[in-house]
Amino acid sequence: MAEPAENPSDITQPDPPEPPLPSSTSAHDATPKSASTPHPPAPRNAFTELMSPKPSAPISQAPQSMASKASQVIRGTFRGALLEYILHPEEHPSVVLRTTPHTVLIRDAFPKATVHLLLLPRSPAHYVLHPHDAFEDAEFLATMRAEAEVARGLAAKELERRVGAWSETNRKREEAKGRGVEEGVSGRDYGREVRVGVHAHPSMAHLHVHVVSRDMHSEKMKHRKHYNSFNTPFFVPLADYPLAENDVRRKTGFQNANLGKELVCWRCGEGFGNRFAELKRHLEGEFEKWRAE
């Protein structure tokens, strides 16, 4: 089965249906019981059971449909929670950054990096589709790409506001300006530090595009799936759509394996196996180096 970036145990599953009640039968309709004594069950043979062929494992299922996720819960958040921002953005001014006839841009409630925004399409014909399907529509894809570039620019400005004071590139720009030199002097391009894409198996019920800084510096990044969902092919850049029919990133087994991959630092390439806590400590140092560039 397709795995979202969250732990399956964090998802509240619906209660199983109750077994049907036995049909009531009147005394006149009851079938008489056989007078013969039932045969006792045959004794079990442990060796025969051990050697008998076992049923094969089920084949991986296709990713769960977006609409079917709306009633589920992850870490106390309904998987359908994004719909509220799509339908009523004006009621959430502290979360919504930009609204257009086509999209709503919000802050991610559980950011996995210094800046993490979500771009939500407002088209009912598309927001309940899986990204692979929605972005087959060329006109819709073009609209989302244009809106995403505006969102990238806003994210870049926010990123510079938060970390720009540590940048050596920015320091040199300011020194040059102080000497009256303007030509050929530019600061750090923070737009290049912002990634735009989707998860191959989205955890929420409504289509959303991640607009996220590449640093992965956040207390909300708490386990391997969080990290790998942004640092393996599980994260599909918006620029790569539409995907070819034979693109391996469409395959459930391939993407489930990506979430379970050994951890690798996004910046220096050092491997950490399954040692997530060690990777987190390492990323603290990498963050300081990255923001100082």
pLDDT in tens, 195-209: 999 999 998 999 999
pLDDT above 70 coverage of the chain, percent: 74
What confidence score (pLDDT) does residue 184 get? 74
What confidence score (pLDDT) does residue 9 get? 38
What confidence score (pLDDT) does residue 123 get? 97
- HSE-CB for 227 with a 13 A CA cutoff: 26
pLDDT above 90 coverage of the chain, percent: 68
Q: Angle, to 10 degrees, between the axis of helix 252-259 and the axis of helix 224-231?
A: 120
Mean pLDDT in residue range 212-222 = 98
Closest CA to 182 of 174, 190, 171: 174
More confident residue, 223 or 12: 223
More confident residue, 138 or 47: 138
- HSE-CB for 216 with a 13 A CA cutoff: 25
What confidence score (pLDDT) does residue 185 get? 78
What confidence score (pLDDT) does residue 67 get? 57
Q: What is the pTM of this model?
A: 0.77
What confidence score (pLDDT) does residue 72 get? 58
Per-residue model confidence as pLDDT tens digits over 229-288: 999 999 999 999 999 999 999 999 999 999 999 999 999 999 999 999 999 999 999 999
Q: Does the pLDDT at position 160 exceed 90? A: yes
Burial class (CB in 10 A: 0-12, 13-18, 19+), 60: middle
Are the beta carbons of 198 and 238 closer than 8 angstroms?
A: yes
What confidence score (pLDDT) does residue 39 get? 55
- Rounded-to-integer distance, Cα 225 and Cα 260, Å: 7
- HSE-CB for 158 with a 13 A CA cutoff: 17
DSSP secondary structure of 107-133: E-SS-SSSSEEEEEE--TTTTTS-HHH
Confidence of residue 107 (pLDDT cuts 50, 70, 90): very high
What does the mean pLDDT of the chain come to?
84
Confidence of residue 31 (pLDDT cuts 50, 70, 90): very low
Comparing 41-50, 93-102, 216-225, 257-266, the range with the smallest average pLDDT is: 41-50
Q: Angle, to 10 degrees, between the axis of helix 276-291 and the axis of helix 224-231?
A: 50
- Rounded-to-integer distance, Cα 190 and Cα 154, Å: 10
DSSP secondary structure of 19-60: PPPPPP--TTTPPPPPSSPPPPPPPP-HHHHHHSPPPPPPPP
Mean pLDDT in residue range 53-79 = 52
What confidence score (pLDDT) does residue 21 get? 37
Cα 210 from chain centroid?
A: 9
Specify whether domain 63-291 bears CATH 3.40.50.10140: no
Closest CA to 202 of 1, 10, 2: 2
Confidence of residue 55 (pLDDT cuts 50, 70, 90): very low
Confidence of residue 29 (pLDDT cuts 50, 70, 90): very low
Q: Which two tokens stand for residue 283?
A: 């990323």
Per-residue model confidence as pLDDT tens digits over 166-186: 999 999 988 988 888 877 778
Helices (H), the chain: 46-51, 82-87, 131-134, 138-163, 168-178, 224-231, 252-259, 276-291
Provide the residue ranges of all domains of the chain, joining segments of one domain with +.
63-291
What confidence score (pLDDT) does residue 22 get? 39
What confidence score (pLDDT) does residue 33 get? 43
Q: CA angle at residue 7 from 215 to 65, to 5 degrees? A: 100
